């Protein structure tokens, strides 16, 4: 019997010191979201990196948790669901979201492709809730 060992590196811990004026507000916010400090810092970093790559995005608090959305626009899952599995721009998508700039829709679709698992989970949840 051969035994194979697979090495899976664990995430590397990054330690930092925060000024006291950030500590209290962060702890309160993490408490509101029911996040541990570790999860909270991961989410802050993840969201910040996403907004750097996709500047038209924001993250909103919803009853279902924090979700990616276009600034002053729809949530990303709504655009991705309308685009279908290809997550590609189409005339129909442009017509459905005619009030949203085409380059913002492209950005939303790029985020949806890059974060397919996350967006697919939200779409599945919303479809279940809608009875579809």
DSSP 16: -
Complete domains list, the chain, with CATH: 22-53 (no CATH), 56-132 (1.10.10)
Label residue 1 by pLDDT band (50, 70, 90).
low
Helix axes 116-129, 76-83, angle to 10 degrees: 90
Sequence-distant (6+) residues with CB within 8 A of 92 are 82
Q: Which two tokens stand for residue 40?
A: 């909270």
Sign of CA dihedral 103, 108, 111, 116: negative
In this predicted model, what pLDDT tens digit does every residue of 108-132 receive, in sequence order? 999 999 999 999 999 999 999 988 6
Query: Alpha helix locations (H) across the chain?
Result: 20-33, 37-53, 76-83, 91-96, 102-114, 116-129
In this predicted model, what pLDDT tens digit does every residue of 32-51 receive, in sequence order? 999 999 999 999 999 999 99
Nearest Cα residue to 112 out of 90, 73, 86: 86
């Amino acid at each position: 019997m051969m035994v194979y060992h697979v090495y899976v590196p664990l995430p590397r811990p990054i330690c930092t010191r925060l000024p006291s004026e950030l500590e209290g507000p962060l702890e309160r916010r993490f408490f509101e979201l029911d996040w541990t400090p570790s999860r909270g810092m991961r989410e802050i970093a993840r969201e910040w990196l996403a907004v750097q790559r996709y500047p038209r995005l924001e993250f909103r608090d919803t009853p279902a948790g924090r979700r990616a959305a276009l600034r002053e626009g729809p949530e990303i899952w709504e655009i991705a669901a309308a685009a279908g599995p290809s997550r590609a721009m189409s005339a129909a998508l442009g017509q459905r979201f005619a009030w949203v700039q085409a380059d913002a829709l492209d950005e939303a679709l790029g985020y949806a492709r890059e974060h397919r698992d996350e967006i697919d989970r939200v779409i599945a949840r919303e479809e279940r809730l809608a009875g579809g």
